[in-house]
Structure 1
Amino acid sequence: MITARNLLISLGLLCLVLLYLLQPILMPFLVGMLLAYLGDPLADAIESKGLSRRIAVSIVFLIFSILFLGLILFLIPLLGRQLEVIREMLPLLIKVFKEQALPVIAQYTGLEIGQFDFETIQKALSGHLKQAGSIASLLIREISQSGMALVSFVVNLGLIPVVTFYMLVDWDHLKIKLLNLFPRKYQAKTEQMAMECDEVLSAFIKGQLLVMLALSVIYATGLWLVGLKLALLVGLLAGLASIVPYLGAIIGIGAGLAAGWFQFTDWLPLVWILSVFIIGQLLESFVLTPLLVGDKIGLHPVTVIFAIMAGGQLFGFTGVLIALPVAAVIMVLLRHVHDYYKDSEMYS
């Protein structure tokens, strides 16, 4: 006899098999679903002002398009120039490491300085940085070498906005239809667990990611006002690393002080660089996190890192996209299993 539980388990296994088999074509659909999930609250807010759903979705779609084009046209060229600055500073970095740091390391470890071929290391690093600085042209060249790869890339890229638009238009209806697929006696519990999963995801995606973005802007702007040439690169690195509490500040302070020392060779700018990160941490603790995340239940940073790495290892880029939603669902399920166990006779 087929029970509801066996049916759900069978459907779950079938979804995993289909995910594995269809992963080469799932990327635009998953990206579109993610963008629709991020844009749905804004679309609902605009719709509540009396506008139709399609007009609200069109406004959200326009905002996403402007942000994406701004990222492509503004951020990527700036990062390319930052990498060029690092390439120019590389000889000085290697010289300081060779003359000051390496003798100390050799004294305490017993390594022979002659074992390091600094000229080869410098050429290799310069070549990699030069290649990274022209990443757009490299990507176009690699894709254009295969006609089918170029067609697939263009089709996938073109599908993302189409999927995003239609998913946003029908998002609320899709949620109702998915809920109605479950047996009626399980629908209330399923809806409760879905709301808990949404709370976890929103706490991270709509909260923590906004905190990371805000910190990136704060750090990059502050370091730019100080006059640091690598302000954008260091600011973005520190902001992205802030997914783990205090890790972003630690990485940012280390990278910022190192870059500042080689650029200014004076202690006063280093004090200003340190002040930027102190102000950023204060803003995160007392303004950004309470305002954007609040007291919602979020995914633990270690859970996030493991989920993303595991998803990438199992299903490639598709696995990275679904890692956080799956981790949120698993965390909610484990919480309910734990509560069920605590209420069972086995525990008591």
Structure 2
Amino acid sequence: MKEFPVTAKRALELLGLFLIGYILLVGSSIIMPILMAFFISMMLLPVYRFLKNRKFPQIIAISLPILLMLIIVSGLVWFFSAQIQILIEDFPLIKKNINVHLNSLSQWIRGFTHFSTEQQISFINEQSNKLLSGTGAILSGILGSVSGALIFFGLLPIYIFLMLSYKNLLLKFCIMWFSDEDLPSVKESIKQIEDIIQSYLMGLLIQILYITVLLGGILWIIGIKHALLIGVLFAILNLIPYIGALFGNILGVMLTVSSTQEVWPIFTVLIVIAVVQFLDNNILMPRIVGSKVKINSLVAILGIVLAGTLAGISGMFLALPIIAILKIAFDRTKNFKKWGVLIGDDVPEENPLNK
């Protein structure tokens, strides 16, 4: 049988990538809950196997891990609701503190520019009117996001239950695509994918816990208001590599600015966040996750941005484990091995053109 020319193969590969991106963009509301359920079910799989080995009925062995997950999520929702209620009660004080900071900023700007206080106020009012003119669209977008989130998280437990129930059937479906001589390699790949997903997701849960305790505890000892809320928000946003930490810093500064009229707490929060992030990136997280698959930073950032564009926040959370799974698959196939090289961080020391 005559093989396709190399250019035709490359064209088909690029066309396939384009179609995958298009399908993800159009069907993200359907695909992302399924992918999220797949990763969570892989994380719950050791608990399910533990209960099955203790002779628990299958329905109980599946339901108990899902119930535990729902309890943890409910606890987070309760915590954020309580913190939001505290912020609402402190709204008069928050408004007063923000006005003090705005006045100080206005005087600082007036000190080296020709803009008077009246001109600054006029500019702020003009921008505020533009912002308010789009309030209807913003509110409708928020309502749409809330309803979408309710559907998303409502389907998750159902998908997880069904995936754990039919995991053997799904595994058989995957194996039937390969010949008998490929089965050892397929078995090794599946085991490695399972190990990577479980270590990555468990590492993220441990990361949330120690960042919350470390960051929130230090800020609380120093006397920063809303210390625990800053710790939890930064820990959750930090799950989005490279980008999440930036938003975590911004939210931490905003909460600090709104809770005090002094300047030193703002710099204190930034310094403490920087120290905790340094410990997390260079000491704690590499030891906890210890992933067997290394992804270079360029592909990681591009993957996160692209996944966020196609599938929103859930895509950004899942970008790295999906890329890691793709690398495992690419490294074990002859036709796609070059893509595995592109994703990895094994950078040649010398120019390949000179060899």
User: The TM-score by the shorter chain falls in which range?
Assistant: 0.5 to 0.7
Contact 1:200–1:296 under 8 Å retained in 2: yes
* Match of residue 30 from structure 2: 25
Structure-2 change in CA distance of 1:121 and 1:174 (3 Å): farther
* Match of residue 63 from structure 1: 68
Structure-2 change in CA distance of 1:118 and 1:20 (3 Å): closer
Aligned residue runs from structure 1 range 1-348, under 5 A: 19-82=24-87, 85=90, 88-99=93-104, 101-107=105-111, 113-117=117-121, 120=124, 124=128, 142=143, 157-224=153-220, 226-243=222-239, 244=241, 248=245, 255=252, 259=256, 263=260, 265=262, 280=276, 284=280, 288-289=284-285, 292-294=288-290, 296-297=292-293, 299=295, 303-316=299-312, 319-320=315-316, 323-332=319-328, 336-337=337-338, 338=341
Deviations 1:224-270 (A, max 9, x none): 45543322332123323544589859965994698289638597x89
1:116 is paired with a residue of what secondary structure? helix
Partners of 2:74 and 2:251 in 1: how far apart?
A: 32
Query: What is the number of residues matched between the two proteins?
Result: 329
Residue 211 of structure 1 and its aligned partner are, at CA, apart by 0.7
1:51 is paired with a residue of what secondary structure? coil
Structure-2 change in CA distance of 1:186 and 1:107 (3 Å): farther
Structure-2 change in CA distance of 1:173 and 1:68 (3 Å): same
2:30 alignment partner AA: I
State the TM-score, normalized to the length of structure 1.
0.66
2:56 is paired with a residue of what secondary structure? coil
Q: Which moved more, 1:52-61 or 1:86-95?
A: 86-95
Partners of 2:226 and 2:101 in 1: how far apart?
A: 19
* Match of residue 334 from structure 2: none
State the TM-score, normalized to the length of structure 2.
0.65
Contact 2:95–2:258 under 8 Å retained in 1: no
Identity over aligned pairs, percent: 20
Gaps of 5+ in 1: 144-148
Contact 1:201–1:298 under 8 Å retained in 2: no
Partners of 2:16 and 2:182 in 1: how far apart?
A: 16
Structure-2 change in CA distance of 1:259 and 1:42 (3 Å): same
Partners of 1:162 and 1:21 in 2: how far apart?
A: 22
Structure-2 change in CA distance of 1:286 and 1:162 (3 Å): same
Contact 1:40–1:171 under 8 Å retained in 2: no
Structure-2 change in CA distance of 1:304 and 1:171 (3 Å): farther
1:58 is paired with a residue of what secondary structure? helix
Partners of 2:78 and 2:61 in 1: how far apart?
A: 26
Contact 1:261–1:270 under 8 Å retained in 2: no
Structure-2 change in CA distance of 1:255 and 1:346 (3 Å): closer
Partners of 2:317 and 2:295 in 1: how far apart?
A: 16
Residue 60 of structure 1 and its aligned partner are, at CA, apart by 0.4
1:115 alignment partner AA: Q
Q: What is the aligned-residue RMSD (CA, Å)? A: 5.2
